[in-house]
Amino acid sequence: EVQLVESGGGLVQPGGSLRLSCVASGFTLSNYWMNWVRQAPGKGLEWVANIKRDGNEKYYVDSVKGRFTISRDNGKNSLYLQMNSLRAEDTAVYYCASPGDWGQGTLVTVSS
Amino acid sequence: QAVVTQEPSLTVSPGGTVTLTCGSSTGVVTSGHYPFWFQQKPGQAPRTLIYDTSNKHSWTPARFSGSLLGGKAALTLSGAQPEDEAEYFCLLSYSGPRVFGGGTKLTVL
């Protein structure tokens, strides 16, 4: 059974940092481009970032460029999102997603 | 970055047919945008229904189909069931970055 399990969310003050992790089981992460997607409370889906199979290409939505960094460790079947300089508008459930599968998400709340 | 547009809401009768569309501010949507369609029910994570315009996953009900229609990506539901009431999001690729549409809330009534 394919599973993507995110962790690392929580409450952080504006300007703070968090590192999200996503561990895959039941499939080989290295075969896929991987994505982070977020959903603010009561809002639609927003694509945040993606990373090529070998990690050599990365893309970001404009609003997180320079603040977020996506990375992967194919040996650990894991995907990461380092989030710095967090803002209130980054508050959302963050999902790890392959082309076919989604995790259950981890909630990030940015508030003082 | 591009803006992807979807109908905010649609209603379909049980057993009826409805088509949701996904347009791009950059122009015609093509297979090169690798359109995806996702279904999300309240309180749940999204689920991928369609990838690369028209390909289905093993869990995608046969009543859903994807296509290109009138310069947009399209998701057609034929024979709507009550359990299809959900929000549907499309996703387009722009040679690396991706952009979601705003979502279509589909009511089966």
Q: What is the pLDDT of residues A32-73, one digit of tens each?
A: 999 999 999 999 999 999 999 999 999 999 999 999 999 999
pLDDT of the residue at A99: 84
> Cβ contacts of residue A88 below 8 Å, gap of 6+?
A14, A110, A111
Whether the predicted pLDDT of A111 surpasses 90: yes
DSSP B63: T
Query: Which strand ranges, in their side-by-side order, compose the sheet holding A78-83?
Result: A3-7, A18-25, A78-83, A68-73
Cβ within 8 Å, pair B100-A99: no
Residues of B whose CB is below 8 A from A60 = 97
What residues in B contact A50, CB-CB < 8 Å? 96-98
Residue A95 to residue B102, Cβ atoms within 8 A: no
Residue A59 CA to residue B26 CA, distance in Å, equals 19
Q: Cβ of B23: how many Cβ atoms within 10 Å?
A: 21
pLDDT in 10s for each residue of chain B, 109 residues = 899 999 999 999 999 999 999 999 999 999 999 999 999 999 999 999 999 999 999 999 999 999 999 999 999 999 999 999 999 999 999 999 999 999 999 999 9
Measured distance CA(B31)–CA(B13) in Å, rounded: 30
Contacts of A97 in chain B (CB under 8 A): 46
Residue A27: pLDDT band (50, 70, 90) is: confident
Instruction: Please tell me which of the candidates B38, B47, B98 has its beta carbon nearest to residue A50.
Output: B98
DSSP labels, A55-75: S--EEE-GGGTTTEEEEEEGG
* The predicted structure's pLDDT at residue A86: 98
CA distance B99 to B23: 11
Residue B8: CA atoms inside 13 Å, Cβ hemisphere, count?
A: 1
Please report the pLDDT score of residue B1 as a whole number. Answer: 85
3-state SS, B93-105, equals ECCCCEEEECCEE
To probe the interface with A, which of B34, B100, B104 has the most A CB atoms within 10 Å?
B100
